[in-house]
Amino acid sequence: MSEGVMHPLTPGSKLEGDWFDARIPENVEAGEGSVIDSSFCFKHFFATGAVGLRVGRHVTIWRTSLAADTNGIIEIGDHCYVSNASLVCSSRITIGSYVMIAGGVTIADSDFHPLGPAARVADSVALSPIGDRRRRPAIEARPVVIEDDVWIGYNATVLKGVRIGAGAIVAPGSVVIRDVASGMLVSGNPARPVDEAQS
């Protein structure tokens, strides 16, 4: 596929000239004018619900990993641009309209492994080639909500349970571990309002 070619985001379709030999999953809903560059975006998409990805109108998804667990749901509103990002969803990630997500951004609604040392060891054993994945310890997931008109800068990370209010800006490289108020600019690790981050 030549550089820059985009395809309609059509459930069940095989993209002409796509370098990755796969189809768009059937459990995708996409509005008019929404496009994607490659089915490779769905390499780690394991959602089994009736809808695993819901995308509004005129959305561009470019070089982005849409990694959803079996019960995961990713929702993206209208007129969004998601560029070379990673959406990692165990439960739910909801993105509003007119949201810009830059390259290298990671949005995750879970840690995907237990936090306690003993549980981490048990999880490693369960995931090993000789393990039993059904014996994995419980893992916490909390939905992520990104409201309308948000811009998330290069290499920022948004972690589980976070709500980013309408019109907020997340500066490049920030790690967001708590809610961001509407219209606020946050920066740093952990991300704080810019006036606090500079003090």
Q: In the annotation, is 113 catalytic?
A: yes
- CA-wise closest residue to 105 among 76, 85, 75: 85
Query: 194: part of which helix (H) or strand (E)?
Result: helix 194-197
Report the sign of the C-alpha dihedral through residues 87, 92, 93, 94, in that order.
Answer: positive
Which member of 7, 44, 58, 113 is catalytic? 113
Q: Is the CB of residue 88 less than 8 Å from the CB of residue 45?
A: no
Identify the DSSP state of 40.
G
The contacts of residue 137 (CB under 8 Å, 6+ apart) are 114, 119, 122, 123, 126
CA 184 centroid distance within chain: 21
φ, ψ dihedrals at 112, nearest 5°: 65, 0
Residues tagged active-site: 113
